[in-house]
Amino acid sequence: MKHNVKKIHDYLFEIPQTGKMLVPARLYVSEKMLDDVFSDNAPEQAAHVAWLPGIINYSMAMPDIHWGYGFPIGGVAAFDYETGVVSPGGVGYDINCGVRLLKTDLTVDEVMPKMKPLVDQLFRDIPSGVGSTGSIKLTHKEEQHVLRNGAHWAVEQGFGIAKDLDKIEENGTMPGANPELISEHALARGKAQLGTLGSGNHFVEVGVVEQIYNPTVADILGLHKDQITVIIHTGSRGFGHQVCDDAIRVMLRASEKYGITLPDRQLCCAPIQSPEGQNYLAQMACAVNFAFTNRQMITHWARGAFSKALGISERAINMTVVYEVAHNIAKIEEHIVDGQKRKVCVHRKGATRAFGPLHPAIPADYREIGQPVLIPGDMGRYSYVLVGTDQAMQETFGSTCHGAGRVMSRTKAKKAGQGRDLRKEMAKRGIVVRASSYATIAEEMPEAYKDVSDVVDIVHNAGISKKVAKLRPLGVIKG
């Protein structure tokens, strides 16, 4: 497949439309990345997405592309709302895995002397690890409220403040959720896992603003050099996984029922307008709301941990939400296609919404600069803040990358970590790490990921999002 790839420009390559592809596939990558990108089946997955009915313009993949279930991770595709399909494989198992960025009134000099006790306190206060359960055990009625109302429920229960909601995608509540469609198994998995970080690449990271690329935009976001920040990266936990699992079984039957030809069973789908398609969107919205609530509760506990560890009041710390983005989601949106406004279902799997300036979905405070985009890196390097662009609206349905992208499997990473003291290696970089097991640290070692700076440079140079600030990690907790 690689020999057929056509170069559009230095940061965009195209797999031509062939066979049963309805549109070409486009990869936002650099030439030097091509060998790595084609080392697994991810580009083939992007081409297979182009088979699906109702796809518009292109199947797309961002520079953090790697193999995933059905769609590649880093995949973006928009489908006509009337004639297209919705696919659970285009959202993924960790529905509304996403990132929240918090800023504080603290400086690096104030916090560094207490970084170890701060990370220890965060690790104590925020449940993490495989199968972790939280201190909140929901009743059936409470869980129904969470699934319908998202982060609003958390604020009503005293987890955070109302103004937190202003800076969350969808204001923390995705409409259309229907808990009546959720299986008992999914409900059971969700009841004990709300307010937990989970395992794998999920984390809470204390960082510092190291570099500002656009002072005007950074000022509007309230970011300045040497400021302490916090990133929360987690999703819908076992609840979202079960919602996806349940949906895939339905969609495999639906694909046959509606005569949809699939190049890969993992791309099972249903017409958006079908009962199966509408039910999945309503179930997915429940998981989206679970994840919004999860990050809201972790924010509340992070504020408390800072106050306890530093001996400063929460008011003085002033930890506020800069923004929160989802990066595993399907959303009904309106976009301009061939000069006409069209209603579409945009699948973003391991991809971030990146709406350009003046879009009404952006918080009023940020509307003139474009939607904030949060791109976490690995635990040893950097994370970035960008903003969406008009070019992204024209080219990618307002989408960009979501992170660094794995280059090493978890198994390979654990093997590579044998005989090394990764905690000590991280400490030499000035980073305090706490995790539920050494295996997690090995799985998440920096070498397991692409350099996020390379990924961010591609989307910046391609014009689909623009750099604002670079954050450096100081302390990390992992599941």
Helix axes 275-310, 115-125, angle to 10 degrees: 140
CA distances 272 to 61, 62, 81, 408, Å, are 22, 24, 6, 35
Residue type, 209: V
Catalytic residue chosen out of the listed positions 327, 335, 402, 460: 402
How far apart CA 19 and CA 344 sit, in angstroms, is 25
DSSP character string of 86-154? E-GGGT-SSTT-EEEEEEEEEEHHHHGGGHHHHHHHHHHHS--STT---S----HHHHHHHHHHTHHHH
CB 440 within 8 A of CB 201: no
Cα-only R_g, the chain: 21
* Helical H segments across 1-139, by residue range: 34-37, 42-49, 108-111, 115-125
Tell me the residue length of the chain: 479
For the CA atoms of 153, 155, 156, 158, what is the dihedral angle to 10 degrees?
130
Please state the φ and ψ torsions of residue 461, each to the nearest 5 degrees: -70, -30
CA distances 459 to 95, 336, 354, 402, 467, Å, are 24, 21, 11, 10, 9
Please state the φ and ψ torsions of residue 146, each to the nearest 5 degrees: -60, -45
Residue 467 C-alpha from the chain's centroid: 18
- Reduce the DSSP state of residue 298 to 3 states and report it: helix
Please state the φ and ψ torsions of residue 63, each to the nearest 5 degrees: -65, -15
Kindly state the helix (H) or strand (E) to which residue 75 belongs, with its residue range: strand 73-80
Residue 334 C-alpha from the chain's centroid: 21
Active site residue 402: yes
The burial class, CB within 10 Å (0-12 / 13-18 / 19+), for 299 is buried
CB 128 within 8 A of CB 233: no
| Contacts with 118 (C-beta within 8 Å, 6 or more apart), sequence order | 111, 206, 305, 306, 309, 310, 475
345 is written with which tokens? Answer: 């279902």
Q: Given the DSSP bridges, would you call strands 59-66 and 25-27 parallel, antiparallel or unpaired?
A: parallel
- Ranges assigned E (strand) in 327-375: 328-337, 340-349, 352-353, 372-375
Residues classed as catalytic: 402
